[in-house]
C-alpha cells in the first residue's frame, strides 16, 4: 500500500463520508486480509474481492464497537456495502489500494444488510458455539 493521503481532504472532496470512514475501510482491508489468510501474500494472491472486503470491514466493526457498530458506521456515512465500494475506489484512485482489471465498483452493490450482518457477528462473539 502507498502512503495514505490526507483523509480529511479526501472526505471533504467526497462530501459523503467522514475521514474516519476512509481510515476504517483501510483498516477493514487489513482485517479482511487476515481473515482470509491473504495477509503477507503478494500480487494476485493477496487480492480481496468486494465481498471479502465488506465482510472484513463489518467484522472489524463488530469486534471494535459491538452492538454500537451500526451506529458508529452510520455516523461516518457508511450505511451499505456500496459505501464501502465508493471509499475503496476513491482510495484506489489515490494510489492507496490497487485493483485487478476485472474489479468493478458495482461488485459492492450486492453486499449484506449491515444491521443483520453486524448483529450476527456480535452474537457469535458473545455466545460462540
pLDDT for residue 46: 67
Domain containing residue 73: 7-126
pLDDT, one tens digit per residue, over 52-63 is: 999 999 999 999
Quickly tell me which residue has 457508511 as its cell: 78
Residue 104 covered by a domain: yes
The SS3 assignment for 67 reads: helix
2 located within any domain = no
**Would you state the pLDDT for residue 116?**
92
Per-residue pLDDT at 2: 43
Whether 1 is covered by a domain: the verdict is no
How many domains does one find in the chain? 1
> What pLDDT is stored for residue 52 in this prediction?
93
What per-residue confidence (pLDDT) applies to 1?
A: 43
* Residue ranges, the chain, pLDDT below 50: 1-3
pLDDT of residue 53: 94
pLDDT for residue 38: 66
Please enumerate in sequence order all residues whose Cβ is within 8 A of that of 55, keeping only pairs 6 or more positions apart, or say none.
Answer: 32, 35, 112, 117
For residues 23 and 83, is the Cβ–Cβ distance under 8 A?
no
Look at residue 45 in the predicted model and tell me its pLDDT: 62
Amino acid at each position: 500500500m502507498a502512503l495514505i493521503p490526507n483523509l480529511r481532504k479526501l472526505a471533504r472532496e467526497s462530501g459523503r463520508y467522514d475521514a474516519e470512514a476512509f481510515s476504517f475501510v483501510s483498516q477493514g482491508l487489513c482485517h479482511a486480509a487476515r481473515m482470509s489468510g491473504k495477509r503477507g501474500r503478494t500480487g494476485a494472491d493477496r487480492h480481496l474481492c468486494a465481498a471479502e472486503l465488506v465482510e472484513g470491514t463489518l467484522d472489524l466493526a463488530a469486534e471494535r464497537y459491538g452492538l454500537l457498530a451500526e451506529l458508529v458506521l452510520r455516523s461516518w456515512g457508511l450505511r451499505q456495502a456500496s459505501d464501502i465500494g465508493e471509499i475503496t475506489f476513491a482510495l484506489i484512485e489515490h494510489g492507496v489500494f490497487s485493483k485487478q482489471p476485472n474489479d468493478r465498483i458495482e461488485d459492492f452493490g450486492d453486499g449484506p444488510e449491515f444491521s443483520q450482518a453486524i448483529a450476527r457477528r456480535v452474537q457469535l462473539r458473545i455466545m460462540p458455539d
